[in-house]
């Protein structure tokens, strides 16, 4: 193992042999690892990809539909409570009505 290089093992595709693992050839950045294989940058990459995944998910038709349905339900509940309010105002309890 070359200690002047990153200590991570990477899989490399070799024609006719398939994948084989070998030491990463990039120079050390921190703690014996290159910038790509250091846990810190791995974590940052994962976070970035998680955010991208999340943003992508929000653009999916099924997600937009789900959001729209949620909004419709909220609006329906608002309408219902407004209707109840109107009913109450038009016909408050305890007030007698007389036919004209």
CB of 52 to Zn ion, least distance (A): 23
| 38 near Zn ion (CB under 5 A) | no
User: 6 or 46: whose CB is closer to Zn ion?
Assistant: 6
**CB atoms near residue 37 (< 10 Å):** 19
CB of 40 to Zn ion, least distance (A): 13
Question: Distance (Å, rounded) from C-alpha 9 to C-alpha 14?
Answer: 15
CB of 28 to Zn ion, least distance (A): 9
| 28 near Zn ion (CB under 5 A) | no
DSSP-assigned beta bridge partners for residue 20: 12
| Helix, strand, coil percent values for the chain (each to nearest 5) | 50, 15, 35
Interface ranges with Zn ion (CB under 5 A): 6, 8, 24, 26, 34, 37
């Amino acid at each position: 193992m070359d200690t002047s290089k990153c200590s991570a093992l990477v899989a490399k595709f070799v024609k006719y042999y398939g994948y084989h693992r070998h030491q990463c050839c990039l120079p050390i950045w921190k703690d014996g690892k290159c910038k790509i294989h250091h846990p810190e940058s791995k974590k940052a990459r994962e976070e970035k990809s998680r955010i991208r995944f999340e943003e992508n998910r929000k653009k999916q038709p099924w997600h937009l539909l789900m959001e729209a349905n949620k909004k419709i339900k909220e609006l329906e509940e608002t309408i219902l409570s407004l209707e109840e309010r109107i009913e109450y105002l038009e016909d408050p309890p305890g007030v007698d009505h007389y036919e004209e």
